Every structure is written in structure tokens, then in C-alpha cells.
Structure 1
């Protein structure tokens, strides 16, 4: 199962839209862990929305659809 998901950081008042084929809680853990990446700037990100897809390509396509309206 793959996912399109939206994270929110209250301290930054910003959303992050992503996709993954791993467990969402594990993916969130990676986002807030000590790594160098766009989402590593704050540790208060939470999953506010997710959708399930059968393939990574479908999940990625949904991310692109959402970003068009961003």
C-alpha cells in the first residue's frame, strides 16, 4: 500500500505534501528524526491527511494534483 500524505507544522504554520510506500508512522518518524532534509527543520509535524493508493506512481500523481492548487 502506498500513500499520499499531508504533514503540518504548527510552529512553522506550514504544510508538507509527500508520498511513500512505507508505514505512515515510520515515515513520519523519519521526517522528524535528525536528518538533513526539508522537513527536518522542526519536530512538531503531524499527519493531518492521507490517502491510500495501489502504486507509488498513483500516490505521486495525487501529490502533483494537490500541489497544482497550492
Structure 2
């Protein structure tokens, strides 16, 4: 069993360079996950690869994986305008944050 508070979990939102597609995910290593979204295995041509969602525009940090997963599911269930509002509050210019991680 892991000690409470010893792990970091991130809920994040990626977009493409035109900011027309959004992808929401959860991870315990945001930097590594961004790398894998940009460099998928040959057999793993997933949603983010197909739609070129490589650019981080939003993230939240959690200490508990269950809370992070619940938040990811909550955001995934929202309509686009609600996701846009969340991003606008956190990152009003929709600046790509990949290099800041």
C-alpha cells in the first residue's frame, strides 16, 4: 500500500495546433505522458495521434488516483463550451504549456 500523499496524479487536456480538438486524460507522470502522446508505438496509433492532440493547455494536480480519475470522468462528460470555460480560467490565451512541465 502506498503512503498517502506520496504520489502526484494529473488530469490534463491536450489540443491540436488549431485548438479544434480536445483530449482529456489522467497520468502520474505528465512529462512522460506528453512524450508518449507525441511518439506512440507503431501499434498504438490512438486518438491523440490521429487528431494531432499533442499540446498541453490545462492540467490539475491530485494526491489521490481515485479523485483524479473521478475528475477526468467528470470533465470528459462535459460539453465543449464547459471545457472551454475551464481552460479559459486556467490558461486564458490557450498557451501551449508543454515546455513548462
* C-alpha displacement of 1:11: 4.8
Aligned to 2:36: 30
CA distance in 1, matches of 2:19, 2:61: 27
> Relative to 1, partners in 2 of residues 1:12 and 1:49: Cα closer, same or farther, differing over 3 Å?
closer
- The Cα offsets for residues 3-40 of structure 1, whole Å up to 9 and x where unpaired, read as 10000112572010000111x12110101103212222
Task: Identify the residue that residue 61 of structure 2 maps to in structure 1.
Answer: 52
- Which structure is higher in strand share? 1
Q: TM-score, normalised by structure 2?
A: 0.60
Structure with more contact order per residue of length (Cα contacts < 8 Å, sep ≥ 6):
1
TM-score normalised by the chain length of structure 1 = 0.82
Q: Which has the larger Rg?
A: 2
| Aligned-residue CA RMSD (Å) | 1.8
For the structure 1 residues 14 and 2, does the alpha-carbon distance in structure 2 shift closer, same or farther, using more than 3 Å as the test?
Answer: same
Gaps of 5+ in 1: none
Question: What are structure 2's unaligned runs of at least 5 residues?
Answer: 1-7, 80-101
> How many matched pairs?
69
C-alpha deviation, 1:68, in angstroms: 2.0
